[in-house]
Amino acid sequence: MKIVVAVKQVPERDAVVRVAADGRGVDESDVAWTMNEPDAYALEEALQLKERAGEGEVVVLCAGPERVQSTLREALAKGADRAVHVVTPEAGEGSLGERDSLDVARLLAEAVRAEAADLVLTGLQSDDLGAGQTGVVMAELLGVPHATLVLHVELLDGGDGRRIKVKRELEDGWMQHVEMALPALLTIQSGGNRLRYATLMGIKRARQKEMREVQAAAAGKRVDEVVKVSPPTRVKRTEMLTGSADEVAAKLVERLRFEVKVL
């Protein structure tokens, strides 16, 4: 069983994000990068599937400039067998910033096609742009069935029946179980598994693993355009609750439950 996991490199959660000079992106000069979290879960699911099946290959795939190799290495260190890096220019024409979701999906789908994978996994969305498009568009381009918001994948018929059963997360704690045929593409929701930590042995082994670079095709014409990027404006609101102690408590509970949603 061959599984391709498409991952994205995104700024770290705590990164100080500044708007770039042109106002249409973020200034990348001192951003620290990391693997997109849902993609990390997609990788984990792939590794566990391989472990459960007892055989197979996990190939990680990422499009981007030189820097994304650190994320690919991380995936290799955690146990992926091979990496494919679709190389795009750092900036300017053909860079990630100049491409829309459709275009990135095309790049990735092209690389997946060459691999003839049984299963393609990717995070359901990215932590930075959050379009949630890439996975499903790839499925369309590859002409394979897909399922979104997947928490868990089960191999049916001992793994050789070429069928899987997936658990999807619906709203409000509801789950849906769907059987599908392979090949297929799944977009993975965070939290379905426990992630593994990176190990020294993993990193050392990763150095010997293959990292194939393929040049990205020229960018197609964008179907959308980023006009302006701006940081969220924070509004602080103070509201005094009045009434007797009991009334105040009741109001507070209501706010906490329905507005702040912490209860």
Partner 1 sequence: MIAGAVGMLRVGIELAEPLSFSVTERLLLMALIAASLGVFAWRSWPIASNILHSKKDADFSLRPVGRRAWKFFWEVLCQSKVIRQRPLPGLAHAFVFWGFLAFALVTLNHLAVGFGHGFLQYSGSFGPFYVGFAGIWAVLVAVSISGLFVRRFVVRPKWLGKRVSVESGVIAGLIFVLMVSYLAALFVGDKGFAARGLWWVHTLSLLVFLPLIPRTKHLHLLLSPLTVFLKRPQFSQIPKLEGDEDFGLFAGRDVTQIIALQAYSCVECGRCAEHCPATTTGKVLNPKKIVLEMRSYLNTAGPGSEEPLLDRPGSAMSMEAAFECTTCGACEFQCPVGVQHLSILIGLRRGAVNTGAWEDRYGTKLFLALEKQGNALGMSSIERDKFIAKQEFPIFDGSQEYCLWLGCMGSYDPKGREIVSDFARVMQALGVQFGVLKKEKCTGDPARRLGNDLLFGDLAAQGLKTFAAAKVTKIVTICPHCVRTIATDWLEYGVAPEIEHHSDFMARHAHLLPKQDGGSIVYHDPCYLGRYRDVYDEPRAVVAAAGELVEAERHHERSFCCGAGGGQAFLGEESGERVSHVRAKELIATGAQTIGTACPFCNSMFRDALGAVGGENPPQLLDIAQLVARGLAPRALSSDAEEKSG
Binding interface with partner 1 (CB under 8 A) = 12-14, 34, 194-204
Nearer to partner 1, 141 or 198 (CB): 198
Both tokens of 162, joined, read 């070429």
User: In the bound complex, what is the minimum distance in angstroms from residue 196's beta carbon to partner 1?
Assistant: 7
Which strand (E) or helix (H) includes residue 211?
Answer: strand 210-215
User: In the bound complex, what is the minimum distance in angstroms from residue 128's beta carbon to partner 1?
Assistant: 15
**Alpha carbon distance 23, 10 (integer Å):** 19
**Alpha carbon distance 255, 259 (integer Å):** 5
Nearer to partner 1, 78 or 106 (CB): 78
**Alpha carbon distance 60, 46 (integer Å):** 10
Helices (H), the chain: 37-53, 69-78, 101-115, 134-142, 200-207, 245-258
Nearer to partner 1, 176 or 199 (CB): 199
Nearer to partner 1, 40 or 60 (CB): 40
User: In the bound complex, what is the minimum distance in angstroms from residue 201's beta carbon to partner 1?
Assistant: 5
Both tokens of 134, joined, read 């890439």
User: In the bound complex, what is the minimum distance in angstroms from residue 252's beta carbon to partner 1?
Assistant: 21
Phi/psi of residue 159, nearest 5 degrees? 90, -10
User: In the bound complex, what is the minimum distance in angstroms from residue 78's beta carbon to partner 1?
Assistant: 9
Nearer to partner 1, 30 or 239 (CB): 30
Helix 69-78 / helix 200-207 crossing angle, nearest 10 deg? 120
